[in-house]
Structure 1
Amino acid sequence: MANHTETNESNKTGGLDRFLVTFNKGDIIFFEREIEDVAYMIKQGKVRLIRIINGVEKFVGTVSDGDFFGEMSLLANTARSATAIAVEETQAFRISKVNFDLLVKSNVTIATKVLTLTAERIAKQQRQLHILLLHDEESQVLDTLLMLYEGLNTAQRENVSINITPYELTTWAGVNIENTKRILAGYQESRRISVFPDRIIIQNINELERIVGSRRKLVATTDPAS
């Protein structure tokens, strides 16, 4: 657990100020599977959430100003589902379960935000589970690209640019970097995608959906448990 400094400044956040803590860049705020009855709300900064699956770092998401994280452990009374790391110097309100419950019950805006965030995270976890059910790494990489496309909320289906590096795609898909690069190179050679240092362009979304869809049907017919 990272060391943090308490802050007692008084501003618009009122009574929450006594819960304010500061994390330095690179500090681990909590570890996956850790038991702790505390949630966080970011006042200023950015936090990266990751999981380790089969020895590979898997990117879960990034939270920033005004976002909650760690609240799922309180709501479900379970261990941490991810590791939280400060991307930059971050100030956050460290809120116990008792105070979290009081805050949600007394503030409609915060209650709505927590419910919306929880629903979004459950939907994202279900989508990521669909990716893991694909047994081959090529399908997992392609379906991760489709998941990122879905997050763009765009009707465009040709020459779609995804702002992600191959390494970031690795952490999303849970596939090691060497295999990810090999898979991307193969699809770039067949002109289905174009890979740049800071982005990946999908030439035709329909084509990727067709490939992943056929792989998913194959899994369904060969693995009754899926």
Structure 2
Amino acid sequence: MRKLIPLLQNVPIFQDLTTNELEAIAPLFVERTFKKGTIIFFEGDLGDEFFLIESGVVKIYRIDYAKEIILALFRDGDFFGEMSLIQKGLTRSATAETLETSTIYTLVRSEFYQFLERTPKLSLRLLEANMERLRKANEQIYDLTFLDVRMRIIKVVHRLAEEHGIIKQGNLMINMKLTHQQLANLAGTVRESVTKVLQELQEDQIITIQKKMIYINNLEAMKKLFPPPTS
């Protein structure tokens, strides 16, 4: 499990642990491989596992009146299911599904809790991680409630660039192949609207799309499209 340690060092929850502490917690994780399209858990399932992605992509979503709403996309180095580490008996608030073959490390609550008792500084980091997730969720709720469709789509593209962007060919590339329908599910709209807005952004030379990958040519120009902050 030593290969897991570099991955753990980049996870906010575990970043304060010493090498010895990381070597102690690493064996508690179980490595699992999920094929593309595998449901890892359903909304409403009893949750007692934490998930850390070594490779692959996972979408977190809910079904609202037969319509899929994507709440988050996670890939290499990301984690999810952290709420299950805090309280026993919680049910999953959304469904998790792989978008490609994924290698994921899992940690059950009972194993983590014993380690937590010996390493209380983990509690603060776990709280901070949950507060950051809550902040992002509140921002998404605000966007879906108060922003028009065009602005929601632009903010989704911007958020994906911030969370999953890598430098390639001198520009910021969203390191994730997503269909227009998946982008629509992230923005709470329909595929046709996404296609229209992406075309407009290309015409304004703010983005470029090559082989289904989105490149951000001018991140600052994109941010200038945002509505002014409310006082």
Q: TM-score range by the shorter chain?
A: 0.5 to 0.7
1:90 is the counterpart of 2:100: no
Which stretches of structure 1, 4 residues or more, deviate above 6 A after TM superposition? none
Shift, 1:48, TM fit: 0.8
Aligned residues: 197
Following superposition, the deviation at residue 185 of structure 1 comes to 1.1
Aligned partner of 1:194 in structure 2 is 208
- Determine if the alignment matches structure 1 residue 50 to structure 2 residue 65: no
Contact 2:143 2:152 in 1 (8 A): yes
In the TM superposition, what is the alpha-carbon distance from 1:30 to its structure 2 partner?
0.6
Aligned position for 1:125: 137
2:6 corresponds to? none
CA distance 1:53–1:181, change in 2 (3 Å): farther
Q: Distance in 1 between matches of 2:216 and 2:26?
A: 47
Structure 1, unmatched stretches of 5+, are 1-11, 221-226
CA distance in 2, matches of 1:43, 1:188: 32
Distance in 2 between residues matched to 1:105 and 1:63, nearest whole Å: 29
Paired residue for 2:3?
none
Residues 119/90 of structure 1: CA separation in 2 closer, same or farther (3 Å cut): same
Rounded Cα–Cα distance in structure 2 between residues aligned with 1:147 and 1:24: 26
Q: SS in structure 1 opposite 2:73?
A: strand
Q: Is the 8 A contact 2:50 2:108 kept in 1?
A: yes
For residue 213 of structure 1, give the secondary structure of its aligned residue in structure 2: coil
TM-score by length of 2: 0.64
- 2:53–2:75 CA contact under 8 A, matched in 1: no
Could you say what the CA RMSD is over the residues aligned between the two structures, in angstroms? Answer: 3.8
> One-letter code of the match for 2:108?
I
Are the structure 2 counterparts of residues 52 and 182 from structure 1 closer, same or farther at C-alpha, using a change threshold of 3 Å?
farther
Q: Deviations over 1:151-184 (max 9, x none)?
A: 4799xxxx96341555254343233333211111
> Percent same amino acid at aligned positions?
22
Question: What is the CA-CA distance between 1:60 and the residue it aligns to?
Answer: 0.5
Larger radius of gyration: 1
Of 114-123 and 145-154, more deviation after overlay is shown by 145-154
**Displacement of 1:141 after TM fit?**
0.5
Equivalent pair of 1:166/1:181 in contact (CA under 8 Å):
no
Aligned to 2:4: none
For 1:130, the aligned partner's letter is Y
Which amino acid in the other structure matches residue 25 of structure 1? K
Residue from 220, 227, 231 that aligns with 1:205: 220
Rounded to whole Å, the distance in 1 between the matches of 2:151 and 2:143 is: 8
TM-aligned CA distance change 1:92 to 1:131, over 3 Å: same
Cα distance change of structure 1 residues 151 and 16 upon mapping to structure 2, 3 Å threshold: closer
TM-score, scaled to structure 1? 0.65
For 1:95-151, what per-residue CA distance to the aligned partner results, in whole angstroms no more than 9, with x for missing partners? 13x443333222357545534432332232223223212342111001223333554
Query: Which letter does structure 2 place at the counterpart of 1:133?
Result: T
Unmatched 5+ stretches in structure 2: 1-22
| Equivalent residue letter for 1:50 | I
Question: Are residue 79 (structure 1) and residue 91 (structure 2) matched?
Answer: yes
- Change in Cα spacing, 1:57 to 1:82, as seen in structure 2 (3 Å) is same
